[in-house]
Structures are given as C-alpha cells and as structure tokens.
Chain A
Amino acid sequence: MATGFLTDTTVCIGCKACEVACKQWNQLPHDGYELTGDSYDNTKQLSGSTWRHVAFIEKPKDENRYRKLSGDVDLVALAEGVKDQLPGGAEIDGLGRWTFMSDVCKHCVEAPCQQACPTGAIIRNEFDNVYIQPDVCNGCGYCVPACPYGVITSIPEDGRAFKCTLCYDRQVDGLEPACAKACPTNSIMFGEVEELEKIAEERVQQLHDRGYPNAFLYGTPEVGGTGGIGGNHSKFILMDEPETYNLPEAPLLPQATVGKATLASAVTAVALGAVVAWAFGSGE
C-alpha cells in the first residue's frame, strides 16, 4: 500500500496551518523572523526545518498592464467595491488572481535523493514513502543537489539532511499526517495514492466543467514525472504552469545517465592509458 498527499491548490486559503502543524508535530526549529516583502510568504521555500511551505502567488491578469500600476493597491477600496480609479491610477480589474499552494516533499516513485544516498539512510518505508533514517545519515549532502524539486536540505547546525517524513510516526499509529489533519479546507488530502488519483481526476474534471480549463494534476508521469522519476506520491492540482509555483515542468532522473557516463569514462581511461603507454614504451 502506498500512501501520499493530494494538495488541491484551488481550495487553499493560505492560512499556513499546515506549516505550523508540521513544525509543531515534528518539533522543527524556527527559520528566523525575516519579513521578505514577497506577498505573505516569509518562509520562502522548503528546507531541512520546513517540510510544508505555503507559496503566495500573485498572478496578474496581464503582466504588462500590471507593471503599469503606479501605487500600492488600496485594499479597503477594493473590499468596499469601489469601481472608480484607485489611488495612483491602479485598476481593480488588473489584479488577476491570488493563488496559494502548500508545497511538500513529492515522494517520487523513483526518488533521486534515495538513489543518490551512499549510506542507505534514505529508504522507502512500509507505506512506500521516501524516508530518511536519521541514525544512518552521515551528512554527505549528496541528496541535496540530486533532488529535482529542491526539497531535501541539510541543517548546518545538525549536519544531516532532513525533509518531510509523511509523518511516519503518526501513520504507524493510524493517524493522518499533521498537515492534512490541520488543513481547514481539505486542500491537503492524505490517503492511498490510487484513491487520491481518483479524487484528483474527478476534481480536475469538475474544474474543467466549471470553466477552468487550465486545471491539471501535477505529479503524474504525464506531467512533472518524465525522465524516469515515474510520477510522485504527493500530487498537486494546479491552475497555472508549474513554474509559477516554483515547480519544474518535466524534471529528469539524475541517475539515469550514470551507466553511460561510466562507460564513456572507461573508454577515455583506455585512451589515456594508451597515450602514457605509448610515451613510455616508444623509447629512443
């Protein structure tokens, strides 16, 4: 049985309850108190100490028109439905959409971090989740650049790499992960991958029927799973191109090329050996 997440970004309200629940349950350290100024996102990205991250995407209707905004948007006027000109010549109509997306480890079917790990610390557990054994990891950091989603990260103070465990400890006790439990809109769903896929298909169809043809499922082999990763066990329903959410459109499995690269190196080794042999053997 494989378990995973389905994160439906269309119903996410950006409350960050998942971020907080994750931090609390897993007793993760804070990330400082920096204010980024990038919308309401002060977390910025997933890291060794942040296993859920809510992205705040302000998507203008028309990029060029949006650039022309000459002042901050008057949110009070906006809320009161003032249809006239906003201060500074801003237009209500130009605002477009404000989207949220709770990001998490993708739990890849062919996980690059797991394939990279030289110690065998990263395994697939009995729930088919990608899991780091903290007592085995020696902090080589090779999984970090291997991850095609920028999820797994070292904590310098600790030395080891960390990421979402899909709340392994809770699953063992028959509980759903903390983030899914805390989500007030059911944007984060937890369950068996096959079941979640069915729910996702229905939801995407429903969105299409309601006039949102852009909606799609990210993390299936068709999208965001080519190049040998074979899809993800945590999937997302998105409304925009993946890059908008800081996700790659079609990530590659980094280890797919290792065999051929080794062969090419062997050929080169023979050539270099022959050159040195020639230099020492040709005598004079």
Chain B
Amino acid sequence: MSESKTQTDTLSGESRNGSKKPQTSHHPKTDGMRDDKGYYGIPPIKASHWAWQIYLYFWVGGIGVGAHLASVMGQLFGWKDLAFFRVCRYTTVVAMVISPIMLIWDLGRPERFLNMLRIVKLRSPMSTGSWALSAFGSLAGAVATKQAADDGLIRLLPGGEPLTKLAKLIPERLISVAALPIGLYVGAYTGILLIATSVPLWARNWLLMGPLFLSSAVSTGLSWVSFVLHLGNWGETRTLHALRKAERVVLVIEAVLLAASLIRTGRWARPLFSRRLGPLFVGGTIVGGIILPFLLLFGKETRNKGLLSGGLVLVGGYILRYVMVRGGRDSANDPDEYFSFTKKDRTEVREAEKIEGEEL
C-alpha cells in the first residue's frame, strides 16, 4: 500500500484526526486517494498471459497466409514470375516454422505441445487453430520443398540427387490450392481465438474480429511480398503492379472492417485509446498502417514508394495485433469494463454506446 503511506486526506484538506502523521484508512471508500471500482478494484476476470511470442505469431502467421494466397492466385492465372513464387513460398514456409516455435514457447508445459492434437474440439478455436496450423504448415512445407528442388537447393544437401528427384514428384500446384482454405482459416482463427473469451474488448467484437485479422493477414502478406521484391529489385513489373492493385482494395476492406469493429465495440473499445496504447494504435495502425500506405499506392510506381508503403503496412499490422492483445489485458483488468459488459439490462449502456460509437 505505497500510496496510503504518503497520502493526506483530500476530502477535508488536512490529515485525518488533525494529526500531522500520515494516516492509513480503515476503509478504502473513505480514502480520497483511492477510487476503487467494484470489489477494491480487483479485476473480476483474469487477463491472459499472452506476451510477445503471441503478437509475433499473430503477425508472422498472417504474413505467411497472405503470401500463400498471392502465390496460389498467381499460379491459377498462369503467372510465370519465378522470383515472385520463390518469395511467396519461402515466406510461407519460414512463417510456418516460426509460428509453432512461438506457440510452443508460450506454453506453460512446452514438452506437452502434442497434447494440442489429442482431440478435435470445434468450439475451441485454440483446438481447431492448432490442427489448421499443423496441416497448413505441413502442406506449405511440401510446396516449399518442391520449390527448393526446382531452385537446385536440395542438390546441395548430402545425397541431393535422389532427394531432388523425389522432391520433384510433389504435386505442388494441387497442394497449394488444397492448402488455401486451411491457410485462410489460420489467418482468421487468431481473431476468433480472441472473441471466444470473457474479455469485453474482444468478446464484444465477435463478428468482425476474425475478418479483421484475416484482412490484416492478407494486407501484411501482400505487402511483405512486394516489399521483398522491391528490395531485391526482383520480380516482373506486372507482378508488382498486380500486388499493388490487390493491396489497395485489401487496405480498403481492412479499413472498413476496423471502423466497423470500433463502432461495434463501442464503449468497450476504450482500452485501445488509452494514454499508453492510443497513440500507437491511431498513429501506427490507423494512420501509419492503413491511410498513409493506401495513399502511397497511388500515382507513379517507384521502388522507394513501394518499399515505404510495404514497410508501413507491415509495422501497422504488427501494432494492430499488439494493441488488440495488450488492450485485452487492460479490458480484463478494469472491473468497470466487465461489469458493464455483463449487465443483464444493458439498455442504458446501449444508449451511451451509441454516442461513443459516433465519436469513434
């Protein structure tokens, strides 16, 4: 109780009992320095422990999914740009290697990670997501193996010749297409994972959190691919052009989903606009991650502009995930947020929500 050691009675303007000695209150409600909500301000629900591994996973996993979507579409429409396919496929496989490492790292008992694949539970996004990630990761691995064989990378390994021959048998076109729906679920389930909790900031936005995370996965994935192509001066001009076209529309979809999410979340979106997270969220995601790169995607197409817009979308996408997860912690830790969320009759709250929704 560090604050009570130094406080004076702010209600009467002088120390309690007229003495100069610092006083502690017998009851927090008489203590002018404390404004406890609910039961001594103790959170009625527990926040999740998720830290940097999880933000990083949400971000890297999304990039892998977006890159996969781009490569499948390029493949379906007969694109022949080798550099583009290389970047997409290697990105996806690296992302799908980093993702499970991050997730296993985050477990309290990492050695038991295989217990995730003990059962299938359709109502638990953590369960379906683990399965989807395992399946998508394996398929992405197969596609990347074929790519590595084509690129002559497998030949460098000991016993490379027969391995290359074997790897070239992989039907990578078929596998890529089959992996696409699973991959898109990997991009979306991270959002659904958040809404299936008691945290008001997440649970309130149940309809749009998955779509929002998926659109951000695709925007960051496309941006990553175009960023790398620009950086290495690789890829055909028409590939870069197609990526740019897609990015523009995807950013608009993302912006609409984000705006709708904020309106839907209403008063419970407050933690996103706190003093700590607000500047990051508004500056990093809304302005820096969506509006600025969107503007940069118009006009003359230059390398610098491509690098800048790609980089901004990537940073904005990371901040979106960081702010959503950290904001959820703040949301869970504030009794006001949860108790207003679980009121049986929320009519008054709904009125307030309308007003705040307009402000947002």
Interface residues, chain A, with chain B CB atoms under 8 Å away: 35-39, 41, 44-45, 55, 57-58, 60, 63, 66-73, 87-88, 112, 115-121, 136-142, 144-150, 152-154, 156, 158-161, 226, 243-252, 254-255, 257-258, 260-262, 264-269, 271-273, 275-284
Contacts and interface: CB of A to CB of B under 8 A. Distances in A.
B212 to A, nearest CB: 9
Q: Give the one of B45, B199, B241, B338 with max A CB within 10 A.
A: B45
B305 interface: no
Contacts of B119: 118-120
Interface stretch (B74-82, B142-150, B158-166, B350-358): B74-82
Interface residues of B, number: 98
A72 B31 CA distance: 10
Nearest to A112: B198
Contacts of B184: 265, 269, 272-273
Chain B contact residues: over half helix, strand or loop, or mixed? helix
A116 B203 CA distance: 14
Given A69-B30, A276-B69, A279-B243, A116 B196 contact: yes
A169 B206 CA distance: 39
Contacts of B38: 243, 246
18 contacts: A44-B40, A67-B30, A72-B16, A118-B126, A138-B116, A140-B107, A145-B199, A244-B39, A250-B343, A252-B203, A257-B206, A260-B207, A268-B211, A276-B69, A276-B70, A279-B73, A279-B245, A280-B246
Nearest to A247: B44
A242 B118 CA distance: 38
A258 B9 CA distance: 50
B192 interface: yes
A119 B115 contact: yes
B42 A58 contact: no
A38 B49 CA distance: 26
Interface string B203-229: 100111111001100100010000000
A141 B198 CA distance: 13
Contacts of A282: 245
Contacts of A279: 73, 242-243, 245-246, 249
B344 A277 contact: no
Interface stretch (B21-29, B93-101, B316-324): B21-29
Given A45-B42, A118-B127, A284-B238, A261 B28 contact: no
